[in-house]
Copies of this chain bind each other. A is one copy, B any other.
């Protein structure tokens, strides 16, 4: 069996040759995995965005989940936080707790993780690998904790607190697909949205100076937009019919189920953002350039923290709560 050190080296300590001479990454890291800490060189004039996510087997993913997809998703949810800040992701640390040093699992996980990391130039700079053990004889759950670090030019980060009455509310991509895949595991059409979400990194960076507030949809549209409203001290009206949804979600006959998926479904990792009306043209051009639908779904109102979702007749729909890890 491989030791902890051998494991880390084999799958997570990448050969120096993979950083090409002249590659800007080579200058950004003074020291990576293999010392007491990684040593980074932040760029001048940049602020540093930092976010941590903890994923637990049995809670955030099922036992037996595909390791490669898990490697993708664990990083993707962190990248999504960078997108929501308008930050360019740069570095990540990875802590893994595993019931055993399963090489096949590790190879798959590292494959999914690095395939996504390489697409966005993210460097794995450190981490911790340990054998998980639950209290008692039961093997512990798989534990994945990733911290992501990104850079954003000083003063240009996107916050939750910047929405102003009159701003438009926009959503990228489509809502409810991941929740549908979770609801109907046999339905393959939206499985990729749930298992291998696409973090909206380019969009986040391009929204600097355009969006007044932004958040990513991890807990559901209503709840995540609610965070913007609360932090900004504003309200919102949203037209339900304008909320973008995958074809399979739009076809669901049970209207309550469809509304629940679209409004409260988590895990889509789209961006919800607000922007002054003057930016409509620029945002339409950006959607075309990125080949990513951007839907204008409502408007920010002055009534504090109140979210109204209106049906086609202008009547308010009742919205349940999103996902809360400690809700009774």
Interface residues of A (CB under 8 A from B): 1-5, 7, 30-31, 34-42, 44, 47-54, 56-60, 63, 81-82, 84-85, 87, 91, 93-97, 100-101, 125-136, 138, 140-141, 143, 145, 147-150, 152, 154, 157, 159-161, 214-216, 231, 324-328
Contacts and interface: CB of A to CB of B under 8 A. Distances in A.
A51 B140 contact: no
B141 A52 contact: no
Nearest to A149: B50
A36 B85 contact: yes
Closest 5 pairs between A and B when the two form their complex, measured CB to CB: A145-B145, A54-B95, A36-B84, A37-B51, A63-B135
12 contacts: A1-B327, A1-B328, A36-B81, A36-B82, A36-B160, A38-B49, A38-B51, A41-B154, A50-B93, A58-B140, A101-B326, A143-B143
Q: How many copies of this kind of chain does the complex include?
A: 2
Contact of A134 (B138, B148, B150): B138
B231 A37 contact: no
Contacts of A52: 93-95, 126-128, 145, 147
A50 B134 contact: no
Given A37-B87, A42-B48, A85-B37, A325 B131 contact: yes
A148 B37 CA distance: 9
Nearest to A44: B44
A48 to B, nearest CB: 4
B35 A39 contact: no
Contacts of A3: 324, 326-327
